[in-house]
């Protein structure tokens, strides 16, 4: 199927919205020798444990590990959790833990095979964090385990750079997808065509730039997220002196022109750690079957953001989890997770 000339869209596939039913959540367990949590690897493990504990209340969790020793490291953190029958380990080596970006994008359709995987090319956020050779092949490895077809768009794309509503619309940003460090030989029109062909969407909705400290060049999952087919939550900066004020106001302006219902999420205070501005965002939540994992930062706006998300997801339990150590890796729960939809 990977060599077929017919695209997923032509074959009737689409990318489901995140709130549609999941068969599982995929994670890539971090490596102590990795670069994501310099000097704080042990301090981030309790957050990962809390994250997995919340997800297994909702659905199975599939965890990529390098080898048996790495699995043992993960088990040392997770083996005392309830619902062990819902945790499975797979020997799929990775460089870093950000499964949203290097993991598969899953597609579904009514006909058999119902499930498929898109394996986009991957260069570690524009070549910023080599090596990424292990991460680059993760989607195909997962497809082999699941015995599902794979499609190869031959375009660099991270999962955190796109947001779909399951009904034909895809939100993304110019700051990331049009950045020359991703696909310098592809025009905007060519990128849009690949998104339509391989995600099974019709509308490509472009926002502009990301926020200060975001090393992804503006991933959509730090800026604006669908919470229903025509409703988005979007980060809004009220402080005119903030470097984020103008780009976030511009993104809100564009969203209004799209005739979407917009619910504004607050920003956090600005935090600098070892000369790095941390890209703390309440938009980096993860929607599981029965729960929503929401990042908190011991910030005055934590409860405001949680209250907003609880109104957006009245049928799910919204769980706020402290991400002050996790964000040192420049990502939160959405960056770590990748949902496998029900086939």
Give 329: exposed, middle or buried? Use CB within 10 Å, 0-12, 13-18, 19+. buried
List Cα–Cα distances, 68 to 64, 105, 205, in angstroms.
Answer: 11, 26, 43
From the centroid of its chain, how far is CA 116? 18
Identify the bridge partners of residue 61 per DSSP, sorted by sequence position. Answer: 25, 87
Structure token digits, residue 162 = 């796109």
H and E: helices and strands count for the chain: 11, 18
Torsion (CA) 191, 193, 195, 201 in degrees, nearest 10:
150
Report helix, strand or coil for 230. Answer: coil
Residue 335 annotated among the catalytic residues of the structure? yes
From the centroid of its chain, how far is CA 316? 19
Where do runs of H (alpha helix) occur along 113-164?
124-127, 133-136, 138-146
Structure token digits, residue 280 = 């703390």
- The closest of 288, 337, 228, 291 to 21, measured between CA atoms, is 288
Catalytic residues: 335
């Amino acid at each position: 199927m990977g060599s077929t000339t017919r695209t997923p869209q032509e074959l009737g596939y689409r990318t489901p919205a995140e709130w549609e039913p999941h068969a599982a959540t995929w994670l890539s367990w971090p490596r102590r020798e990795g670069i994501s949590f310099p000097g704080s690897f042990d301090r981030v493990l309790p957050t990962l444990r809390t994250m997995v504990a919340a997800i297994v209340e909702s659905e199975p969790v599939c965890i990529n590990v390098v080898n048996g020793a790495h699995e043992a490291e993960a088990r040392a953190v997770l083996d005392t959790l309830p619902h062990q029958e819902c945790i499975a380990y797979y020997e799929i080596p990775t460089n870093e833990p950000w499964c949203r970006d290097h993991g598969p994008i899953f597609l579904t359709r009514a006909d058999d095979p119902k499930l498929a995987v898109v394996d986009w090319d991957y260069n570690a956020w524009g070549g910023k964090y080599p090596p990424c050779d292990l991460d680059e092949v993760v989607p195909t490895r997962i497809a082999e385990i699941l015995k599902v077809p794979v499609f190869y768009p031959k375009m660099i794309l991270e999962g955190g750079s796109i947001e779909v509503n399951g009904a034909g619309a895809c939100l993304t940003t110019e700051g990331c997808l049009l950045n020359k460090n991703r696909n310098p030989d592809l025009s905007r029109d060519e990128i849009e065509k690949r998104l339509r062909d391989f995600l099974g969407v019709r509308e490509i909705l472009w926002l502009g730039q990301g926020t200060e400290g975001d090393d992804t060049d503006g991933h959509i999952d730090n800026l604006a997220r669908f919470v229903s087919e025509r409703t988005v939550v979007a980060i809004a900066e009220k402080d005119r002196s903030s470097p984020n004020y103008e780009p976030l106001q511009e993104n809100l302006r564009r969203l209004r022109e799209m005739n979407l219902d917009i619910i504004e999420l607050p920003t956090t205070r600005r935090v600098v750690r070892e000369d790095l501005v941390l890209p703390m965002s309440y938009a980096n939540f993860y929607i599981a079957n029965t729960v929503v994992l929401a990042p908190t930062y011991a910030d005055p706006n934590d409860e405001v953001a949680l209250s907003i998300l609880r109104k957006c997801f009245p049928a799910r339990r919204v769980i706020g989890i402290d991400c002050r150590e996790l964000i040192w890796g420049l990502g939160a729960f959405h960056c770590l997770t990748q949902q496998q939809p029900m086939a």
